[in-house]
Amino acid sequence: MTCVLAIKPEDASVRMLGTRHSALDFRKRLEQQLESCQTLQVDFGGIFVTQGFVDELFGPLILRMGPAIIDRLVFSGCDQDKRAILQLVFADRLQDFAARQSLEP
């Protein structure tokens, strides 16, 4: 089953999500949906996001679960800038995950 999480602030006049703090509630919702959905479509349509927001949204999940979590995510509403941010964050966190794995006994 595929679920959808729309990254939209409650205040419709807000067009940008830029702080790490603003990502926390979205990450909680993302984690809850991943518990019951095999695939989660994350919709970024109509909103600008910063690297810090995206890192706080996905970074902890990648560090905890590794690359398998990315395989369960599908993205929509992503322009070239959002895709570049996603790729950068995922590459950094996957590298951190791999480094942690190599340190474990």
Is the pLDDT confidence value at 104 over 80?
Answer: no
pLDDT reported for residue 102: 87
Side chain identity at 6, as an amino acid letter? A
* pLDDT computed for residue 84 by the predictor: 98
Structural domains of the chain ordered from first start: 2-103 (3.30.750)
Q: Can you tell me which residue has the tokens 């095999």?
A: 38
* Contact (Cβ atoms closer than 8 angstroms) between residue 94 and residue 69: no
The conformation of residue 49, written as its DSSP 8-state character, comes to E
Per-residue pLDDT band at 10 (split at 50, 70, 90): confident
| pLDDT above 90 for 105 | no
Q: Crossing angle for the helix pair 51-65 and 20-36, nearest 10 degrees?
A: 40
User: Which two three-digit tokens encode residue 22?
Assistant: 């603003």
In this predicted model, what pLDDT tens digit does every residue of 55-97 receive, in sequence order?
Answer: 999 999 999 999 999 999 999 999 999 999 999 999 999 999 9
AA identity, residue 66: G
